[in-house]
Amino acid sequence: MRTKLSLMVGASMLLAGTIFFGSPPSGRSPLPYAPDEALEDFKKAVALFEQGLYEPAIKVTLKLYRQYGDVQAVWFPTWVRRVVKDLPDPKNHEEVLRWTIQSQGRPFLYTMALKGGTVSSLLMESYFDLGKYEEARKWADFILARNPDADIPYNIRKLCDYHLARGSRPLQLPSKTIWRSLPLGYREEDYFILVPLDEACKVLGLGCSIAPNPKMAGGKGIRVTKPDSPNTAWRLFLGHPTVERLENGKGHTEGIAYAPFEEDGKVWVPFYWLAKQVGIRGWEVRNGKIYVAPKQGTK
Amino acid sequence: MFVMNFGAGYYDPVNDRWVEPEIPNEAITSQDGFPGQGMPVLWLLNANEGSGYPLKVVNFLNGYAHRRDVYAAIVVPGTRLVDPNAYAETWGAIWGEGLPPVNAPIMEVNRDRLEAHTNDPNRNVNGLPFLNCLTHVIAHELGHTVLWHRNDLGDHGHHNGRDAVGNPLTNFDCHIWQFFGWSRVILPTDFCPNNPGCIFRWKLNP
């Protein structure tokens, strides 16, 4: 009990000592955690948002807001357990940092594996990304009322004003009646739509090679290419939420919201990432199939 | 921004004597020195002022430089910060104990989010390069390792255009400005390079 108490005191002191870019102490009082029964909806909302499915993300997040108010949640996604067995308590950020820096358990970027968020920031960002600037501004104001110096809401408010003054309109996708289904199987994990990489590349017109390579993460060298961009290639790493984009021989690291993994000889990757690389502007899962919007300039 | 270690004389075992520092402390205290040039100074700790080897001790070059230990803050990429409305956050000041037992300043940077926002033309309306944005964020957090809780002037070390009683003092041309500047055409490249008033908000070694 004493140890627990001292840890809690220590964590509180450290939290109080944390400085954020643009966030003074008034914003540091953490929001309450969502109750356990809300965690699945939270995971769903974050996954939808990270896959660019903003409208359904808003629907789920508003439901959370109505039920629980502005709460937060944090968790380790399922893919992490394929890579490491022991994990720190995701709610104890100090521990997560310590495990990362000290390579406790094994060398692993635990901080890069955490998922989470707050209801208010999810709504603000989803509305903004959807181009619904009036709604985004309302949620930015909502956060700024509690924390007047919060950096991202401050910027969102300014950007909303900028776009509203210019009369910017939300992105209009073609009617869903002309979206086409893809001949591609998928699976769902933590509400991410995952597809077998080699099959998906064939369907989407991407090049792909998966070859044994003991030097690479998971023992596989995975490379995705785009025929119309011969100087660009991506390297994916099993069990790592990062992608390396090779452009004219130079590497550049990018994030991927769900780490690729291999199961029964198949490499699974999130569909949203592949869709982004081929310029698909809208997609959804309907009746067990992935439907995509026509690319710009096509009917 | 620059980093130096002032005031660290050294012991010369051959001649059994204490050698005074080549660069006097006045360089950072006198108006004839760096402050008069409008430059903030990051006063760095030497190894005797803190523990945590090897984390704070990274600069072992040769001869003279061997006597000068330079602290290092640890930069950690993270996808979910304690504050969801920030690009980065800092734990621990350079003179503090940091996050035990790591015992060094740690800055966690949500690099993926920053990059996503940089690539979004609806946010990055002036097309700021990602590397500039990342450098600015890290420099801002590095500033916090020095400006730790300078609450006497408000805003916990951030520069926000005013002093504690509202007089204009600082401007946004500074890494430690309060907000990330998506509306800017050029991001700051230094701490208050053109505004000597800013230096009065810097907190040196307490």
Q: Check whether residue A279 and residue A233 sit in a common domain.
A: yes
Interatomic CA distance for residues A222 and A210, integer angstroms? 5
Boundary (domain end) residue, out of A143, A165, A187 = A165
| CB-nearest partner of B156 from A10, A24, A153 | A24
pLDDT tens digits for B127-177? 999 888 988 888 888 788 776 655 555 566 777 777 667 777 777 888 888
Task: Give the pLDDT of residue B62.
Answer: 34
Q: How confident is the model at residue A299 (pLDDT cuts 50, 70, 90)?
A: very low
Q: Kindly determine whether residue A20 and residue B91, on different chains, have CB atoms separated by under 8 Å.
A: no
Q: H-helix or E-strand containing B109?
A: strand B106-109
Q: Are residues A120 and A139 in the same domain?
A: yes
Quick one: A147 and A280 in the same domain?
no
Q: Give percent helix, percent strand, percent coil of chain B, each to the nearest 5.
A: 25, 15, 60
Residue range A44-52: average pLDDT? 98
The confidence band for B19, taking pLDDT boundaries of 50, 70 and 90, is low
Give the β-pairing of B42-43 and B3-4. Answer: parallel
Residues A26 and A158 in one domain: yes
Q: How confident is the model at residue A79 (pLDDT cuts 50, 70, 90)?
A: very high
Residue type, A158: K
Please indicate, yes or no, whether residues A154 and A217 belong to a single structural domain of this protein.
Answer: no
Give the residue from A20, A21, A70, A92 with the most B CB atoms within 10 Å of its CB, the best one to mutate: A21
Q: Is A101 within 8 Å of B76 when comparing Cβ atoms?
A: yes
- Both A150 and A180 in one domain: the answer is no
Q: Are A125 and A140 in contact (CB under 8 A)?
A: no
Residue A6 belongs to some domain of the structure: no
- The answer to whether B99 contacts A22, with C-beta atoms less than 8 Å apart, is no
Interchain contact, A155 vs B148, CB within 8 Å: no
Q: Which of A132, A165, A198 represents a domain boundary (last residue)?
A: A165
- Burial annotation B59-83 (CB, 10 A radius, 16+ → b, else e): eeeeeeeebbbbbbbbbbbbbbbbb
Report d(CA A32, CA A50) in Å as an integer.
22
| A297: in domain | no
B66-72: Cβ within 8 A, 24+ apart: B67/B8, B67/B10, B68/B5, B68/B8, B69/B5, B69/B44, B69/B45, B70/B3, B70/B5, B70/B44, B71/B44, B71/B45, B71/B104, B71/B105, B72/B104
Tokens (6 digits) for A147? 């924390």
What pTM did the predictor assign?
0.82
B80 φ, ψ (degrees, to nearest 5): -140, 100
pLDDT in tens, B106-137: 888 898 999 999 999 999 999 999 888 988 88
- Nearest chain A alpha carbon to B79: A112
Question: Residue B61 above 60 pLDDT?
Answer: no
Residues A226 and A197 in one domain: yes
Whether A264 is covered by a domain: the verdict is yes
Single out the residue of B36, B44, B33, B60 nearest to residue B4, CA to CA.
Answer: B44
Per-domain residue ranges of chain B: 42-201
Domain count, chain A: 2
Tell me what the mean pLDDT of segment A172-189 comes to.
93
Q: Is A212 found in the same domain as A121? A: no
A191 and A249 co-located in one domain: yes
> In this structure, what CATH number is given to the domain that contains residue A125?
1.25.40.10
Percent of chain A with pLDDT strictly greater than 90: 66
- pLDDT at position B75, please? 78
Whether A201 and A153 share a structural domain: no
Which domain, by its residues, includes A43? Answer: 18-76+114-165
Q: Could you tell me if B124 and B118 are in contact, meaning their C-beta atoms sit under 8 angstroms apart?
A: yes
All residues of chain B having their beta carbon less than 8 Å from the beta carbon of residue A28 are 82-83
pLDDT surpassing 80 at residue B99: no
3-class DSSP string for chain A: CHHHHHHHHHHHHHHHCCEECCECHHHCCCCCECCHHHHHHHHHHHHHHHCCCHHHHHHHHHHHHHHHCCCEEEECCHHHHHHCCCCCCCCCHHHHHHHHHHCCCCCCCHHHHCEEEEHHHHHHHHHHHHCCHHHHHHHHHHHHHHCCCCHHHHHHHHHHHHHHHCCCCCCCCCCHHHCEECCCCCEEECCEEEEEHHHHHHHHCCEEEEEECCCCHHHEEEEEEECCEEEEEEEECCCCCEEEEEECCEEEEEECCCCCEEECCEEEEEHHHHHHHCCCCCEEEECCEEEECCCCCCC
Nearest to A71 by CA among A8, A105, A122: A122
Q: Do A20 and B178 touch (CB under 8 A)?
A: no
Same domain, A160 and A36: yes
Query: Is residue A159 one of the residues assigned to a domain?
Result: yes
Long-range Cβ pairs for the range B52-58 (8 Å, 24+): B52/B98, B52/B102, B52/B103, B52/B104, B55/B102, B55/B103, B55/B104, B56/B94, B56/B103, B56/B104
Residue B50 is predicted with a pLDDT of 38
Can you tell me the ipTM of this complex?
0.87
> What residues of A are in contact with residue B99 (Cβ under 8 Å)?
14, 94, 97-98, 101
Q: Give the pLDDT confidence of A197-227 residue by residue, as tens digits.
A: 999 999 999 999 998 888 777 788 899 999 9
* A217 and A143 fall within a common domain: no
- How far apart CA B97 and CA B148 sit, in angstroms, is 12
- Output the six-digit token pair for B127: 């097309």
Tell me if A239 sits within 8 A of A259, measured CB to CB: yes
